[in-house]
Amino acid sequence: MAQKENRNESGKDDCSTEEGGREKKPELNTTFADHFEPSERESALYQLWEKSGAFSFDAPVSEESGSSTKDPFVICMPPPNANGELHLGHSYGYSIMDTLGRYHRAQARPVLLLPGKDHAGIQTQVVFENRLRATGRDLSTSTREQLYDECYAFCMDRAQYMRAQEKQLGLSADWEREFFTLDPRLSNVVFETFVRLWDDGLIYRGKRIVNWSVLSGTAISDVEVDRKEVEGTLTYIRYPFASPVTAPKFKEIDLPEGSQLLSAGGGLWVVVGRQEITAATVLRQGEGVDSSLICVEAAKLSKDSAVKKVLSELSVPDEALQVAQALSQCVAAGGGFIATLVAQFDPSEGLVTATTRPETMLGDTALAVHPKDPRYAHVVGAAVVVPLIEREVKVIADNRVEIAFGAGVVKVTPAHDFLDFDIGETHGLPVIQVIGTDGRMTEEAGAYKGLEARECRKRVVADLEAKGLVEKIEKIVHKVPIAERSKDIIEPLISEQWFVAVDDKKHSLKGRALELLQSGKIDIHPPHFRKEFEHWLKNLRDWNISRQLWWGHRLPVWYRDQAGEMETKVSIEVPSGDGWRQETDTFDTWFSSGQWAFTTLAACGELDMQTGKAAKGAFPSECMVMGRDILFFWACRMLLLTAYRMDEVPWKSIYFTGLIRDEHGQKMSKSKGNGIEPGEIIKKFGSDALRVGLLFGTTPGNDVNMGEGKISGYSKFINKLWNAAKLLQMRTLGDCQSACPPPAQIRSDAAVWIVAEVCRVRAHVRHLMDTYQLGQALSELYGFTWDTYCDWYLEVVKVLTKESASPDTAALAELRWAAQYSFGSLLEMLHPFLPFLTEEIYQQLPGLGTAPTLCQAAWRPDPKQVSFESASGQRSTDAMVRVIEVVKAIRSSKVSLGGLGSGIRVALNTDPLSEEGERLVQELGRVQLVKPAEISADRAVAQVFARGVILFDHPDRAGFATKLSKEATSLEENIERLEKRLASDFAARAKPEVVAVEREKLQVAKQTLSRLSEELKALAR
C-alpha cells in the first residue's frame, strides 16, 4: 500500500518540486537520453535480436494470436553479387523484405527470410581478374582450379562484408540458412536439372552466332551487352556484277499537272500530286532524274494521316526535310494527295553497299535488298563478286532490309552479324567465319589471315580503294555493342554453345510456365506487370546457357576419345572408365540463380526434391521482391525452371520494385557522382531513417527519387517518437515495471478514444500490409503517430497528469493502462519499419509488452475488456472527438479573431461535455469555460462550427462579421450544390447509402447556416 502511494506521489511530484525554479532545467524522472543515437545503439540491438533466436525459421511462434498452424511466410531473397558491396537498390529491396518479414512475424507466422549471395559468373570473373592484374599477377601461370579456389575465397570475403552491411540495415534474415550459389548443396540440384533437361531432349549443342567478348574469351548473354555511341565510318563498297545486268527501259512522259518532284536522298524521290505515278510512268529528263526510273509504293495523304506515318509507309527517312515539309503542306491543304516513291537506278557498275565493319566482307555470302525496293527489283537473283576474296554470291530479297538506310543493299555476313545470321538461315546461305575467338582473322580470310580485326579493317579499305571500289566514306555516329563487364567491343561470331530449347514441340518449357502464370496462381504487384511478364515469356528464345569462363558451375558433361570417336556423357559424377575429361564451359549465372526458389529450400531441408513436398509449407515461397529491371532475365527464367523441376510456381506473389534515382529523377551512377552510399546514410542518420526514407510513399513498380534531404527529413520522425516515449516515461509510465492490468470499466473518454483509434489504425494497417501497400501503411502510421498520437493524445496525457489533477488512483491506473496499450501497439506497428528505435524504446520502457524483445512480439489483440464498440463506448469515443473539434474550433477562431490571448472566457452552446472533457477544452484551448449566460451580450462573438456555437467574450465584433458572412456565403453555395444534386437523377439512380450521406450533409449545412444567420443578426444589432 505504502509502496503504491509512493509511486503515485513520485509520478507527479517530480514536476511540482521544481515549480519554483523556472530557469533551472528540471530533473526529469527519465533514463532516456536527450536523443536517440543510432550509431551507438544499433549494433547492440541487433545482437539482442540475434541472441533471441527470433530470426530463425525454427523460432517458436508466439501463442498470443491463437493457432500455431499458420502458413509460414517465406522469402528466398534475391542474392546480391558477392563481388562488391551493397548499394542503395539493395537497401531498398531489403527494407521491403525485412519490413514484410517483421510484419508477418508479428502476425504469429513462422517467417523465413532466406539470405544468400550470387557467384555472378562473368561479372565476378572480370572484377577478380582485374584485381589480380592490378597486383601485377600473370594470370596465364595459374591453373583454372587455382583461380577458382582463390576467387571462391574472395567471394566468401565479400559475402562476409556484405552480410555485415545487411545486418547493419536490420535485416532479420535466418543466417543459419544462408547460401552461396556455388555451394555444393545447391549445385547438385542445378546439375540434376541440367541432366534431366538433357534426358528430356531439351538441351542441344549448336554452332550459333553469339556475342563474343575477345577480352574475356567468352560468349556473353544479350542482357550483358551494353551499347555505346561512338563515331565511326560508313564505307560504301561496290560489288561488281559477275556478268552484265541490264535495267529495263521505260518510255518518257511528263510529270502530271501540278505534281512536285522531291528528293528523298539515296537515289530515291517522291512525287506528290493528285494522281498516282505507275510503273509505266517515267519522268522526263532535265528534272535531275536519270532515265531509268521505277515507281513503287504510294501512300495517300488524308487529313488525319500524320506526315511521319506517310514517310514510314514510303520508307523515306524522317530526315528528308524537304519531303516532310511538302507533305505537311499537302495535308494542311485538305488531303486527297498521293505521294509516290520513285527511284533511279544505274546498274552498270555493280551494287553498292555500306558497312561500318568492312573487314567482315571477307565472310560475305550474299547481298540482300528489300523485295519492294524499286531500285533493285530486277537484280534479285543476279550474281555479284565479293571483292578481294573474289567470291561469287547471289543477290537475295529479304524484307528485313531497310530501303531507306544507306544504299538499301546489305552485305550478308552470317558468321558475324545477328541479323545476317537469321537472313542466312532463311535463305540457306553458307556461314563463313573470318574472325576467330582470339579476335584475329582466320584461314578463311585468305591473305588477311592472322591480322587483328581492327588492323584488317584498315587493310581491306586500303585495298578496296586501290581497286577503285570504294564509293565514299561517311562519318557516322552509331552504337556499338560493348561487354557490360569487361567493356570491350563485342565481336559477334560463330561458336559452339549449349542451348535450352524453351519451346520444344513435345515439351514446351515456356508453354508450361505461361500456363502457370495465366492460371492466376501468382499475385503480381503492381498488377499491370502481368502483361509485361507474359510478353517476355512469350518472346523467350532458346537460351544459351554456356559461358567460356572458369568461374561458375562447369557443365556436367564428359568427353573421351574412344577409338577415334568422341564419346559424350552427361552426368553429375564422372562416368566410370578412364580418360574422361569435363566440359570446360560453365553455366550462365542465370541458370543457377533461376533455380534459387527451390535449390535453397532443398539445401536447408525445407523441400524434398524427390517428392516435391515441403513439410513446413515453405515451398512455394510466399513472395519474391525483385527490381522491375530484371523481370525479363530473372523472373522469367525462375518461373521457367521452377515450372520444369517442380511443376509449380516459384512464389505465390511477386513484388516488383522501381529503381532508385537521385532527387531529380536521374539514374544514379558513379560517373555522375550522384550516388548515395547506404553506409554513409546509416552513419549519419541511422538505419531506421534510411528505411523510412526508402519506404515512405513508395508503390510497387514505381521509381523512387532519393536525396539526402528526404532521409534527413524523415529522421525527424525518429526524434519525434523518441520524445513521445520520453514524455510518457516522465509523465506516467516511469514507475510501471510491468504491464498494468486492464481496468474492468473505463471512465475516461480519452482512454477509450485512443485505444479505439489504435485498434482502427491497426485494422487498416493490417489490410495495407497484407496487400503489399507498404508505403501507404507507413504513411498512415506516420500521420497517426504525429497528428493523433503526439499532438492530441500526448497533450491530453499532459493535462490529465498535471499535479492539479485529483489524486484518483483508479483514474491513474486507467490512464497508465491506456498509455501502455496504445503506445505498445504503436511500437508494434512501427517496428517493421523502424526496428531499431522501436526496440530501444521497448527495452527502456518496461510494461509495454510481455515478449522479451519487440521483434518477437505478436501484435496484441483488440482489448476484450473494453467494449468501446458498444453503444456506450461509441458515445465515449464520440465525446473525445467532440472535445477535439471544440478545441480546434477555438484555436482557429482565436487566430481569426486577431490572436485572442489565453484565459479568455468562452461559452459552448453544444451538448454538455463531461467533466474530463471540460477540463481538456479549457487546458488545450487555453480558455476559461463559462455558461452562455455569463457572457454579456454586447461583448459576445459567436463562432459556428460543425457541432454548435462558441461564444467568445470579446469586444471586437466588427471584423468578425465580415468573416462570418464569408462563411455564410460559402455555406449557401454548398447548400445550393447539394440541393441541385438531390433534385437531379442522382436521388433516383445513385446507391441509397450515398444519397443518404448527401442528405445528411445538406441537413447539417442548413442547420449551420441558420445558426450562422442568427449570429449575424445578433452582431448587426
Residue with Cβ nearer RNA (595 or 776):
776
Angle among Cα 197, 198, 203 to the nearest 5 degrees reads 85
3-state secondary structure of 568: strand
**981 burial class (0-12, 13-18, 19+ CB within 10 angstroms)?**
middle
DSSP-assigned beta bridge partners for residue 623? 75, 653
How far is residue 909's CA from residue 400's CA, in Å, rounded to a whole number?
Answer: 83
How far is residue 376's CA from residue 398's CA, in Å, rounded to a whole number?
Answer: 12
Provide, rounded to whole angstroms, the least separation between the CB of residue 514 and RNA. 15
Please list, in sequence order, all residues whose beta carbon lies within 8 angstroms of the beta carbon of residue 970, skipping any fewer than 6 positions away. Answer: none
Provide, rounded to whole angstroms, the least separation between the CB of residue 137 and RNA. 34
Closest by CA to 113, choosing from 165, 185, 179, is: 179
Residue with Cβ nearer RNA (581 or 977):
977
Provide, rounded to whole angstroms, the least separation between the CB of residue 352 and RNA. 10
Residue with Cβ nearer RNA (278 or 669):
669
Residue with Cβ nearer RNA (171 or 706):
706
Provide, rounded to whole angstroms, the least separation between the CB of residue 240 and RNA. 18
Residue with Cβ nearer RNA (558 or 784):
784
Residue with Cβ nearer RNA (738 or 892):
892
In this structure, the dihedral spanned by the alpha carbons of residues 412, 417, 418 and 422, taken in order and rounded to 10 degrees, is: 20
How far is residue 696's CA from residue 405's CA, in Å, rounded to a whole number?
Answer: 49
How far is residue 647's CA from residue 511's CA, in Å, rounded to a whole number?
Answer: 12
CA atoms within 13 A on the CB side of 653: 16
How far is residue 761's CA from residue 765's CA, in Å, rounded to a whole number?
Answer: 6
Provide, rounded to whole angstroms, the least separation between the CB of residue 270 and RNA. 17
132-149 exposure pattern, b = at least 16 Cβ within 10 A, e = fewer: beeeeeeeeeeeeeebbe
Q: Residue 387 — left, alpha, or beta (φ > 0 → left; ψ -120 to 50 → alpha)?
A: beta
Residue with Cβ nearer RNA (283 or 727):
727
Please list, in sequence order, all residues whose beta carbon lies within 8 angstroms of the beta carbon of residue 573, skipping any fewer than 6 positions away. Answer: none
Residue with Cβ nearer RNA (257 or 304):
304
Closest by CA to 863, choosing from 824, 813, 917, 810, is: 824
Q: Yes or no: say if 536 and 524 are a contact pair by the CB < 8 Å rule.
A: no
How many CB atoms neighbour CB 306 within 10 A? 12
C-alpha cell at 955: 469586444
Provide, rounded to whole angstroms, the least separation between the CB of residue 456 and RNA. 15
Longest Cα–Cα distance of the chain, Å, equals: 123
Provide, rounded to whole angstroms, the least separation between the CB of residue 1007 and RNA. 14
Provide, rounded to whole angstroms, the least separation between the CB of residue 720 and RNA. 5
3-state secondary structure of 192: helix
Provide, rounded to whole angstroms, the least separation between the CB of residue 324 and RNA. 13
Residue with Cβ nearer RNA (76 or 887):
887
Residue with Cβ nearer RNA (87 or 560):
87
- As a whole number of Å, the end-to-end CA separation of the chain is 62
Provide, rounded to whole angstroms, the least separation between the CB of residue 687 and RNA. 15
Provide, rounded to whole angstroms, the least separation between the CB of residue 889 and RNA. 9
* Peptide bond connecting 240 to the previous residue in cis, omega within 30 degrees of 0: no
**Can you state the percent helix, strand and coil of the chain, rounding each to 5?**
45, 20, 35
Residue with Cβ nearer RNA (584 or 974):
974
Q: Measured on CA atoms in the order 148, 149, 150, 155, is the torsion positive or negative?
A: positive
Residue with Cβ nearer RNA (321 or 744):
321
How far is residue 124's CA from residue 128's CA, in Å, rounded to a whole number?
Answer: 6
How far is residue 846's CA from residue 739's CA, in Å, rounded to a whole number?
Answer: 8
Amino acid identity for residue 550 in this structure: W
Provide, rounded to whole angstroms, the least separation between the CB of residue 594 and RNA. 17
C-alpha cell at 866: 473494453
Please list, in sequence order, all residues whose beta carbon lies within 8 angstroms of the beta carbon of residue 730, skipping any fewer than 6 positions away. Answer: 14, 28, 29, 30
Angle among Cα 405, 409, 411 to the nearest 5 degrees reads 115
* Structural Rg of the chain based on CA atoms: 39
Provide, rounded to whole angstroms, the least separation between the CB of residue 840 and RNA. 15
Provide, rounded to whole angstroms, the least separation between the CB of residue 415 and RNA. 12
Residue with Cβ nearer RNA (205 or 891):
891
Q: Measured on CA atoms in the order 80, 595, 186, 590, is the torsion positive or negative?
A: negative
Provide, rounded to whole angstroms, the least separation between the CB of residue 121 and RNA. 17
Residue with Cβ nearer RNA (347 or 713):
713
Residue with Cβ nearer RNA (648 or 979):
979
How far is residue 92's CA from residue 103's CA, in Å, rounded to a whole number?
Answer: 17
Residue with Cβ nearer RNA (111 or 237):
237
Provide, rounded to whole angstroms, the least separation between the CB of residue 778 and RNA. 10
Provide, rounded to whole angstroms, the least separation between the CB of residue 755 and RNA. 18
How far is residue 99's CA from residue 833's CA, in Å, rounded to a whole number?
Answer: 6
Provide, rounded to whole angstroms, the least separation between the CB of residue 977 and RNA. 6
Dump the DSSP string for 920-979: HHHHHHTEEEE-GGGS-GGGEEEEEETTEEEEEE-S--HHHHHHHHHHHHHHHHHHHHHH
Residue with Cβ nearer RNA (139 or 987):
987
Residue with Cβ nearer RNA (401 or 549):
401
